Amino acid sequence: MLFFNNAATWLTMKLVTRAVKGTHDLFGDEIRFQRKILRNARQWLESAGAFELATPVFEFTEVFQRGVGQTTDIVQKEMYTFSDRAGRSITLRPEGTAGVIRAFIEHGMKVMPQPVRIWYAGPMFRAERPQKGRQRQFHQVGYEIIGSDSYVADAEAILLSYKILESLGLRQMRLRIGSVGDSQDRMKYNEYLNSVLTPHFDDLSTDSQRRLVSNPLRILDSKAPQDIALLQELDVKPLLEFMGEKSRKHFESVKKALEDLGIAYTIDSRIVRGLDYYAHTAWEIHHELLGSQSALGGGGRYDTLVETLGGAPSPGVGWALGLERVTLAMQAEGLSPDAASRPLIYIFPLAAEFAEKALLAAQSFWPQVSAQYSLSAKKPAKGLREAEKRGAKYAGIIGQDEAASEAITIKNLHTKEQKLLSLKDAAALLKGENNEAH
C-alpha cells in the first residue's frame, strides 16, 4: 500500500511538473516571434478593412462535425471532445473558420455591408502525433472574407497572407494552388475514383477502404505508403481534369489575378486540404527550408459552409497561418523577433529599508518609462553592474538622503554623469527620452 502511495505521488509529481505532450509554454524569443507576426498581421488585415473577432476556444461539437466535415481526419481522430457538466458534447476548436461562421450567423452579420472581413488569432487544438512544427496546441492567425463569390476576393486573401509573410522578411516561400471544383465536379470525380479504386479495394489501407465509401477524394490525402503507391501505379487523374466550365473559369481568373499582382505560384493538381468545406480555390504556402511540416498556412474558398451551419447562403474565402511554423521559417531564414524590452532605468536601494522607496520611484516613471527596480539592497558597484547587465541607460540610486526627500540619484551609464533629482524632475527627464533610442 505504501509503495502504491509513493508511486502515485511520484506520478502526480511527474504530471504537475511538465506540460502535456504536444503543448508548450511560450516565452522569450518564441513569444516575441509570435507577437511580431501578430502585429504585422493585424496591421495588414485591419488596413484592408478587417475587424477582429475572438470566438471561444470551445464550441458545441456539432459546429466542427458539420463545419469541418465528418469524413475528415480532424473530426474522426483529432478532436479534443468531452462532455460538459450538463452532458453536452463540447470540442476544443481544431481550427478557426467554423467558429467564425457560427458567430457570423449568430450575430446576423449578413446585414452588415458585404463582404465582411474578419481576422482572428488564438490557440487551436488537434490530437496529432507531435513532431517539429506539429503540436497538439498550436496558434493561428486567420482571415475570412464572407459574402463574396468573386475571384478577386480569393486573390485578395492570398495577397494579404503573402504580404504579411513578406513583411516579416520571409523570402523562401512557395504558393501551391489548386482547385477542388464545385460539388458537381467532386461528385463526378468521386465516381471516377470509385471506378478505378474499387477493383483494388484490397490493396488500400483500412482507412482508405472506409474513405472509398464515405468520401473517396480523401484517399488522395492519405499518408499510408500502400495508398500512395497504388495511386501512383494507377496513374489516377487529378480533379482538375473533371472540372466544369464554371470552376475552370474561376480557377483561371484567380491564377491570372495572381500573375497581375506579381505573386508566383505553382499548380498543385492534387491539393486536398484536410477540411471538407472547400470549393473551388484551395492553396497552401510552403517554406523551402522546413522539413515535412512545411506548410506555413493554407486556405481556400468555402461557398456552402454558411448554409451547412444553418445560415442564409453566403460564399466565403479565407486562410490561416500557423504561428509556430512561421516562427520556424523566420528562424531558418535568420530573421529576428521583436527585441526584448530593456529598461531605460534600473533603480536599486542601498539598504533593504529603502526598497519601498525604490518601488515608489519606479511607479512614478511607469508606464511611459520602462523602469525596473531591485527589491534587495545593493552596494553601488554591484547595482551599477546589474543596471548595465540589464541594458539600462540609467541607474537610479536610493540611499538615506534620497529616501528622506522623495529624490533619486540618477547616473547616466554612458556619460557617467550623475545628479540628484527630485522624483518629479527625474520623471520629466526620463519621459523626455525616447525609450527606443537608448
For ligand HAM, the closer CB: 121 or 257:
121
Smallest separation, CB 102 to ligand HAM (Å): 13
Q: For 20, which DSSP code?
A: P
For ligand HAM, the closer CB: 68 or 410:
68
CA atoms of 54 and 50, how far apart (whole Å): 13
Q: Which stretch binds ligand HAM (CB under 6 A): 54-62, 94-102, 240-248, 250-258?
A: 94-102
Smallest separation, CB 109 to ligand HAM (Å): 16
Instruction: Take residue 345 and report the three cell numbers written for it.
Output: 532605468
Q: In the window 140-169, what residues touch ligand HAM (CB under 6 A)?
A: 140, 142, 144
261-290 footprint of ligand HAM as x/- string (CB under 6 A):
-------------xx---------------
Smallest separation, CB 256 to ligand HAM (Å): 22
CA atoms of 287 and 295, how far apart (whole Å): 6
For ligand HAM, the closer CB: 143 or 394:
143
Q: Which stretch binds ligand HAM (CB under 6 A): 134-142, 210-218, 234-242, 354-362?
A: 134-142
Smallest separation, CB 61 to ligand HAM (Å): 17
Smallest separation, CB 100 to ligand HAM (Å): 8
CA atoms of 297 and 175, how far apart (whole Å): 10
Instruction: Take residue 236 and report the three cell numbers written for it.
Output: 489516377
Instruction: Take residue 245 and report the three cell numbers written for it.
Output: 466550365
For ligand HAM, the binding residue among 29, 30, 62, 128 (CB under 6 A) is 128
Instruction: Take residue 196 and report the three cell numbers written for it.
Output: 478505378
Strand pairing of 394-398 and 281-287?
unpaired
For ligand HAM, the binding residue among 300, 315, 349, 399 (CB under 6 A) is 300
- Measure CA 141 to chain center: 4
Smallest separation, CB 267 to ligand HAM (Å): 18
Strand pairing of 394-398 and 345-349?
parallel
For ligand HAM, the closer CB: 99 or 343:
99
Q: Please give the span between the terminal C-alpha atoms of the chain, in angstroms, as a whole number.
A: 63
For ligand HAM, the closer CB: 43 or 131:
131
Instruction: Take residue 316 and report the three cell numbers written for it.
Output: 466565403
Q: Determine if 96 is a binding residue for ligand HAM (CB under 6 A).
A: yes
Q: What residues contact 323, with CB distance under 8 A and at least 6 apart? A: 33, 34, 37, 38, 121, 138, 139, 140, 141
For ligand HAM, the binding residue among 24, 35, 42, 134 (CB under 6 A) is 134
What is the DSSP secondary-structure string of 135-164?
Answer: -SEEEEEEEEEES---HHHHHHHHHHHHHH
Look-up: residue for cell 480533379?
239
Smallest separation, CB 297 to ligand HAM (Å): 5
Counting DSSP H helices and E strands in the chain, the numbers are 16, 16
Number of residues in contact with ligand HAM under rule CB under 6 A: 27
For ligand HAM, the binding residue among 135, 208, 215, 327 (CB under 6 A) is 135
Per-residue three-class SS string for 300-345 = EEECCHHHHCCCCCCCEEEEEEEHHHHHHHHHHCCCCCCCCCCCCE
For ligand HAM, the binding residue among 295, 332, 377, 421 (CB under 6 A) is 295
Smallest separation, CB 143 to ligand HAM (Å): 7
For ligand HAM, the binding residue among 181, 318, 337, 349 (CB under 6 A) is 318
For ligand HAM, the closer CB: 44 or 302:
302
CA atoms of 319 and 44, how far apart (whole Å): 14
The sign one gets for the Cα dihedral 362, 365, 367, 368 is negative
How much of the chain is helix, strand and coil, in % rounded to 5? 45, 20, 35
230-249 footprint of ligand HAM as x/- string (CB under 6 A):
--------------------
Instruction: Take residue 314 and report the three cell numbers written for it.
Output: 453566403
For ligand HAM, the closer CB: 208 or 293:
293
For ligand HAM, the binding residue among 102, 325, 378, 411 (CB under 6 A) is 325
CA torsion, points 358, 361, 367, 371, in degrees to nearest 10?
-50
CA torsion, points 263, 269, 271, 276, in degrees to nearest 10?
110
Smallest separation, CB 162 to ligand HAM (Å): 14
Query: Which residues of this protein are in contact with ligand HAM, per CB under 6 A?
Result: 95-97, 126, 128, 133-135, 138, 140, 142, 144, 274-275, 295-300, 302, 318-320, 322, 324-325
